Structure 1
Protein backbone atom coordinates (compact mmCIF):
# COMPACT_ATOMS: atom_id res chain seq x y z
CA UNK A 1 0.00 0.00 0.00
CA UNK A 2 1.35 3.41 -0.93
CA UNK A 3 1.77 6.02 1.74
CA UNK A 4 -0.53 9.04 1.34
CA UNK A 5 1.18 11.99 -0.27
CA UNK A 6 1.01 15.45 1.14
CA UNK A 7 -0.17 18.03 -1.37
CA UNK A 8 2.47 20.65 -2.15
CA UNK A 9 2.26 23.90 -0.24
CA UNK A 10 0.78 26.75 -2.25
CA UNK A 11 3.42 28.75 -4.07
CA UNK A 12 3.94 32.18 -2.51
CA UNK A 13 5.22 34.77 -4.93
CA UNK A 14 7.54 37.58 -3.85
CA UNK A 15 5.51 40.02 -5.93
CA UNK A 16 1.84 40.70 -6.38
CA UNK A 17 -0.33 41.87 -9.26
CA UNK A 18 -3.46 43.73 -8.20
CA UNK A 19 -6.17 45.44 -10.22
CA UNK A 20 -8.27 47.98 -8.33
CA UNK A 21 -11.59 48.91 -9.93
CA UNK A 22 -13.99 51.69 -8.98
CA UNK A 23 -17.07 50.13 -7.44
CA UNK A 24 -19.62 52.03 -9.56
CA UNK A 25 -18.61 50.57 -12.93
CA UNK A 26 -20.97 48.52 -15.07
CA UNK A 27 -20.01 44.86 -15.52
CA UNK A 28 -18.80 45.34 -19.12
CA UNK A 29 -16.69 48.30 -17.97
CA UNK A 30 -15.09 46.26 -15.16
CA UNK A 31 -14.10 43.54 -17.60
CA UNK A 32 -12.84 45.99 -20.22
CA UNK A 33 -10.83 48.04 -17.72
CA UNK A 34 -9.28 44.91 -16.18
CA UNK A 35 -8.16 43.65 -19.59
CA UNK A 36 -6.56 46.97 -20.50
CA UNK A 37 -4.85 47.40 -17.13
CA UNK A 38 -3.23 43.96 -17.02
CA UNK A 39 -1.94 44.41 -20.57
CA UNK A 40 0.08 47.33 -19.23
CA UNK A 41 1.53 45.26 -16.40
CA UNK A 42 2.50 42.44 -18.76
CA UNK A 43 4.24 44.80 -21.16
CA UNK A 44 6.27 46.41 -18.37
CA UNK A 45 7.25 43.11 -16.76
CA UNK A 46 7.72 40.39 -19.39
CA UNK A 47 9.33 38.15 -16.76
CA UNK A 48 5.83 37.70 -15.30
CA UNK A 49 4.78 35.78 -18.39
CA UNK A 50 5.15 32.00 -18.30
CA UNK A 51 5.66 29.52 -21.09
CA UNK A 52 3.10 28.84 -23.83
CA UNK A 53 0.40 26.27 -23.08
CA UNK A 54 -0.09 23.14 -25.15
CA UNK A 55 -2.95 20.67 -25.10
CA UNK A 56 -2.81 16.92 -25.72
CA UNK A 57 -3.59 17.51 -29.39
CA UNK A 58 -0.38 19.56 -29.75
CA UNK A 59 -2.27 22.84 -30.16
CA UNK A 60 -0.23 25.69 -28.72
CA UNK A 61 -1.81 28.62 -26.84
CA UNK A 62 -0.40 31.94 -25.74
CA UNK A 63 1.44 32.18 -22.42
CA UNK A 64 -0.18 33.96 -19.49
CA UNK A 65 0.92 35.44 -16.18
CA UNK A 66 2.85 32.99 -13.98
CA UNK A 67 1.13 34.29 -10.87
CA UNK A 68 -2.43 35.16 -9.85
CA UNK A 69 -3.97 38.56 -10.48
CA UNK A 70 -6.06 39.90 -7.61
CA UNK A 71 -9.07 41.96 -8.67
CA UNK A 72 -10.25 44.39 -6.01
CA UNK A 73 -12.82 47.16 -5.84
CA UNK A 74 -13.16 50.41 -3.95
CA UNK A 75 -14.90 53.75 -4.03
CA UNK A 76 -13.55 56.71 -5.96
CA UNK A 77 -11.80 58.22 -2.92
CA UNK A 78 -9.94 55.03 -2.02
CA UNK A 79 -8.95 54.54 -5.67
CA UNK A 80 -7.50 58.06 -5.73
CA UNK A 81 -5.66 57.42 -2.45
CA UNK A 82 -4.27 54.14 -3.81
CA UNK A 83 -3.01 55.98 -6.89
CA UNK A 84 -1.27 58.55 -4.69
CA UNK A 85 0.31 55.79 -2.57
CA UNK A 86 1.43 53.90 -5.70
CA UNK A 87 3.15 56.97 -7.12
CA UNK A 88 5.33 57.18 -4.02
CA UNK A 89 6.48 53.56 -4.22
CA UNK A 90 8.69 51.51 -6.53
CA UNK A 91 5.91 49.66 -8.37
CA UNK A 92 4.70 49.41 -11.95
CA UNK A 93 1.37 51.20 -12.48
CA UNK A 94 -1.19 51.26 -15.26
CA UNK A 95 -4.25 53.54 -15.12
CA UNK A 96 -7.63 53.75 -16.79
CA UNK A 97 -9.60 56.99 -16.60
CA UNK A 98 -13.27 57.63 -17.30
CA UNK A 99 -12.27 59.58 -20.42
CA UNK A 100 -11.01 56.37 -22.03
CA UNK A 101 -14.60 55.11 -22.35
CA UNK A 102 -15.16 57.83 -24.98
CA UNK A 103 -12.04 57.35 -27.10
CA UNK A 104 -11.68 54.87 -29.90
CA UNK A 105 -7.98 54.27 -30.36
CA UNK A 106 -4.64 54.08 -28.59
CA UNK A 107 -3.44 57.54 -29.64
CA UNK A 108 -6.62 59.18 -28.33
CA UNK A 109 -6.35 57.16 -25.10
CA UNK A 110 -2.84 58.46 -24.43
CA UNK A 111 -3.87 62.01 -25.35
CA UNK A 112 -6.83 61.85 -22.95
CA UNK A 113 -4.59 60.87 -20.03
CA UNK A 114 -1.90 63.38 -21.03
CA UNK A 115 -4.41 66.26 -20.98
CA UNK A 116 -5.20 65.88 -17.27
CA UNK A 117 -2.94 66.76 -14.31
CA UNK A 118 -1.96 63.76 -12.16
CA UNK A 119 -4.07 64.81 -9.17
CA UNK A 120 -7.14 65.46 -11.36
CA UNK A 121 -7.29 62.09 -13.15
CA UNK A 122 -10.81 60.63 -12.95
CA UNK A 123 -9.60 57.10 -12.28
CA UNK A 124 -11.90 54.13 -12.77
CA UNK A 125 -9.13 51.57 -12.38
CA UNK A 126 -5.47 50.99 -11.78
CA UNK A 127 -3.18 47.99 -11.74
CA UNK A 128 0.02 47.64 -9.77
CA UNK A 129 2.81 45.11 -9.71
CA UNK A 130 5.51 45.10 -7.08
CA UNK A 131 6.65 43.55 -3.82
CA UNK A 132 3.74 41.96 -1.97
CA UNK A 133 3.94 44.22 1.07
CA UNK A 134 3.98 47.39 -1.05
CA UNK A 135 1.01 46.30 -3.14
CA UNK A 136 -0.87 45.45 0.07
CA UNK A 137 -0.15 48.95 1.45
CA UNK A 138 -1.23 50.61 -1.80
CA UNK A 139 -4.55 48.71 -1.97
CA UNK A 140 -5.30 48.85 1.76
CA UNK A 141 -9.01 49.24 2.36
CA UNK A 142 -10.08 47.73 -0.96
CA UNK A 143 -12.14 44.54 -0.99
CA UNK A 144 -12.05 41.53 -3.26
CA UNK A 145 -14.19 41.99 -6.35
CA UNK A 146 -17.40 39.98 -5.96
Structure 2
Protein backbone atom coordinates (compact mmCIF):
# COMPACT_ATOMS: atom_id res chain seq x y z
CA UNK A 1 0.00 0.00 0.00
CA UNK A 2 1.42 3.41 -0.90
CA UNK A 3 2.39 5.87 1.81
CA UNK A 4 0.19 8.93 2.03
CA UNK A 5 1.41 12.51 2.10
CA UNK A 6 0.11 13.00 5.66
CA UNK A 7 1.80 9.84 6.95
CA UNK A 8 5.13 10.90 5.45
CA UNK A 9 4.91 14.35 7.10
CA UNK A 10 4.02 12.83 10.47
CA UNK A 11 6.91 10.36 10.30
CA UNK A 12 9.31 13.13 9.26
CA UNK A 13 8.16 15.37 12.12
CA UNK A 14 8.68 12.58 14.66
CA UNK A 15 12.18 11.81 13.35
CA UNK A 16 13.16 15.48 13.41
CA UNK A 17 11.79 15.94 16.94
CA UNK A 18 13.62 12.86 18.21
CA UNK A 19 16.96 13.63 16.58
CA UNK A 20 17.12 17.43 16.68
CA UNK A 21 15.50 18.87 19.81
CA UNK A 22 16.98 22.34 19.12
CA UNK A 23 15.29 22.65 15.70
CA UNK A 24 12.63 25.38 15.80
CA UNK A 25 9.18 24.11 14.99
CA UNK A 26 6.58 25.60 12.70
CA UNK A 27 3.02 24.88 13.77
CA UNK A 28 1.09 22.77 11.30
CA UNK A 29 -2.64 23.21 10.76
CA UNK A 30 -4.81 21.22 13.17
CA UNK A 31 -6.17 19.07 10.34
CA UNK A 32 -5.03 18.69 6.77
CA UNK A 33 -7.84 19.20 4.28
CA UNK A 34 -8.94 16.18 2.29
CA UNK A 35 -9.15 17.07 -1.37
CA UNK A 36 -11.82 15.62 -3.62
CA UNK A 37 -9.29 15.44 -6.43
CA UNK A 38 -5.87 13.89 -6.77
CA UNK A 39 -2.91 15.22 -8.76
CA UNK A 40 -0.40 12.72 -10.10
CA UNK A 41 2.59 12.99 -12.41
CA UNK A 42 3.51 9.66 -14.01
CA UNK A 43 7.07 9.52 -15.32
CA UNK A 44 8.46 6.91 -17.66
CA UNK A 45 11.02 4.50 -16.27
CA UNK A 46 14.59 5.21 -17.30
CA UNK A 47 14.60 9.00 -17.64
CA UNK A 48 17.68 10.90 -16.49
CA UNK A 49 17.34 13.25 -13.52
CA UNK A 50 17.23 16.40 -15.67
CA UNK A 51 14.56 14.82 -17.88
CA UNK A 52 12.41 13.87 -14.86
CA UNK A 53 12.59 17.42 -13.52
CA UNK A 54 11.92 18.96 -16.93
CA UNK A 55 8.92 16.72 -17.65
CA UNK A 56 7.46 17.22 -14.16
CA UNK A 57 7.72 21.01 -14.32
CA UNK A 58 6.13 21.25 -17.77
CA UNK A 59 3.31 18.84 -16.88
CA UNK A 60 2.52 20.67 -13.63
CA UNK A 61 2.33 23.99 -15.47
CA UNK A 62 -0.56 22.46 -17.41
CA UNK A 63 -2.30 21.09 -14.32
CA UNK A 64 -2.20 24.44 -12.51
CA UNK A 65 -4.29 26.08 -15.25
CA UNK A 66 -6.71 23.17 -15.72
CA UNK A 67 -9.36 24.65 -13.39
CA UNK A 68 -9.90 27.86 -11.45
CA UNK A 69 -8.94 27.90 -7.78
CA UNK A 70 -6.20 25.25 -7.95
CA UNK A 71 -3.57 27.63 -6.65
CA UNK A 72 -3.67 29.23 -3.23
CA UNK A 73 -2.87 32.77 -2.20
CA UNK A 74 0.51 34.40 -2.80
CA UNK A 75 3.18 33.70 -0.20
CA UNK A 76 4.62 36.51 1.90
CA UNK A 77 7.74 36.33 4.07
CA UNK A 78 8.45 38.16 7.30
CA UNK A 79 10.02 41.07 5.39
CA UNK A 80 6.85 41.51 3.30
CA UNK A 81 8.33 40.12 0.07
CA UNK A 82 5.59 38.56 -2.05
CA UNK A 83 6.03 35.24 -3.88
CA UNK A 84 3.86 33.49 -6.45
CA UNK A 85 1.03 31.23 -5.31
CA UNK A 86 1.45 27.49 -5.71
CA UNK A 87 -0.83 24.51 -6.11
CA UNK A 88 -3.03 24.06 -3.03
CA UNK A 89 -2.84 20.28 -2.82
CA UNK A 90 -0.11 17.64 -2.73
CA UNK A 91 1.25 16.17 -5.95
CA UNK A 92 2.29 12.54 -6.20
CA UNK A 93 5.20 11.85 -8.55
CA UNK A 94 5.25 8.24 -9.67
CA UNK A 95 7.02 6.09 -12.23
CA UNK A 96 5.58 3.53 -14.59
CA UNK A 97 6.33 1.65 -17.76
CA UNK A 98 5.24 2.76 -21.21
CA UNK A 99 2.14 0.55 -21.22
CA UNK A 100 0.77 2.10 -18.02
CA UNK A 101 1.45 5.64 -19.27
CA UNK A 102 -0.48 4.85 -22.49
CA UNK A 103 -3.34 3.22 -20.58
CA UNK A 104 -3.61 6.10 -18.07
CA UNK A 105 -3.68 8.66 -20.90
CA UNK A 106 -6.36 6.72 -22.76
CA UNK A 107 -8.57 6.28 -19.68
CA UNK A 108 -8.13 9.92 -18.66
CA UNK A 109 -8.99 11.35 -22.08
CA UNK A 110 -12.16 9.23 -22.12
CA UNK A 111 -13.45 11.09 -19.03
CA UNK A 112 -14.67 14.68 -18.97
CA UNK A 113 -13.81 15.09 -15.28
CA UNK A 114 -10.08 14.34 -15.60
CA UNK A 115 -7.52 16.92 -16.73
CA UNK A 116 -4.59 15.47 -18.68
CA UNK A 117 -1.21 16.88 -19.68
CA UNK A 118 1.22 14.88 -21.82
CA UNK A 119 4.93 15.09 -22.52
CA UNK A 120 6.37 13.07 -25.38
CA UNK A 121 9.97 12.04 -26.03
CA UNK A 122 10.08 14.36 -29.06
CA UNK A 123 9.67 17.41 -26.81
CA UNK A 124 13.22 16.97 -25.47
CA UNK A 125 14.42 18.13 -28.92
CA UNK A 126 12.12 21.12 -29.34
CA UNK A 127 12.86 24.62 -28.17
CA UNK A 128 9.55 26.44 -27.82
CA UNK A 129 5.82 26.03 -27.29
CA UNK A 130 4.80 26.11 -30.98
CA UNK A 131 7.30 23.34 -31.79
CA UNK A 132 6.07 21.32 -28.79
CA UNK A 133 2.45 21.48 -29.96
CA UNK A 134 3.47 20.62 -33.54
CA UNK A 135 5.41 17.56 -32.34
CA UNK A 136 2.38 16.26 -30.41
CA UNK A 137 -0.03 17.07 -33.27
CA UNK A 138 2.09 15.09 -35.74
CA UNK A 139 1.34 11.77 -33.99
CA UNK A 140 -1.92 9.95 -33.34
CA UNK A 141 -2.96 9.55 -29.70
CA UNK A 142 -2.23 5.81 -29.55
CA UNK A 143 1.24 6.32 -31.05
CA UNK A 144 2.46 9.11 -28.74
CA UNK A 145 5.87 8.21 -27.29
CA UNK A 146 4.89 9.28 -23.77
CA UNK A 147 7.56 9.97 -21.17
CA UNK A 148 5.19 11.73 -18.78
CA UNK A 149 1.51 12.17 -18.07
CA UNK A 150 -0.08 14.40 -15.44
CA UNK A 151 -3.61 13.77 -14.22
CA UNK A 152 -6.03 15.69 -12.00
CA UNK A 153 -9.43 14.31 -11.25
CA UNK A 154 -11.60 12.46 -8.77
CA UNK A 155 -9.43 10.55 -6.29
CA UNK A 156 -10.94 7.12 -6.94
CA UNK A 157 -10.76 7.50 -10.71
CA UNK A 158 -7.12 8.59 -10.61
CA UNK A 159 -6.26 5.74 -8.23
CA UNK A 160 -7.68 3.24 -10.74
CA UNK A 161 -5.81 4.85 -13.65
CA UNK A 162 -2.42 4.70 -11.94
CA UNK A 163 -2.78 1.23 -10.41
CA UNK A 164 0.59 -0.48 -10.78
CA UNK A 165 2.67 2.73 -10.75
CA UNK A 166 5.37 3.19 -8.11
CA UNK A 167 6.15 6.24 -6.00
CA UNK A 168 9.16 8.00 -7.46
CA UNK A 169 12.28 7.47 -5.40
Alignment TM class, shorter chain as reference: over 0.9
| Cα separation, 2, equivalents of 1:72 and 1:46 | 25
Q: Deviations along 1:91-113, whole A, 9 cap, x unmatched?
A: 00000000000111100000000
| Cα separation, 1, equivalents of 2:68 and 2:151 | 14
Q: Which runs of 5+ in 1 are unaligned?
A: 1-6
The answer for the alignment partner of 1:4 in structure 2 is none
Aligned length: 140
User: 2:104 matched to 1:85?
Assistant: no
- Displacement of 1:8 after TM fit? 2.5
The answer for the alignment partner of 2:145 in structure 1 is 122
TM-score, normalised via structure 1 length: 0.92
| Cα separation, 2, equivalents of 1:141 and 1:17 | 16
| Cα separation, 1, equivalents of 2:133 and 2:56 | 17
User: 2:68 matched to 1:23?
Assistant: no
**Helix, strand or coil at the partner of 2:41:** strand
TM-score, normalised via structure 2 length: 0.80
Q: RMSD of aligned C-alpha atoms?
A: 1.1
Aligned partner (choices 45, 56, 64) of residue 78 of structure 2: 56
- Displacement of 1:9 after TM fit? 3.3
| Cα separation, 2, equivalents of 1:33 and 1:102 | 13
Q: Which runs of 5+ in 2 are unaligned?
A: 1-28
| Cα separation, 1, equivalents of 2:69 and 2:60 | 14
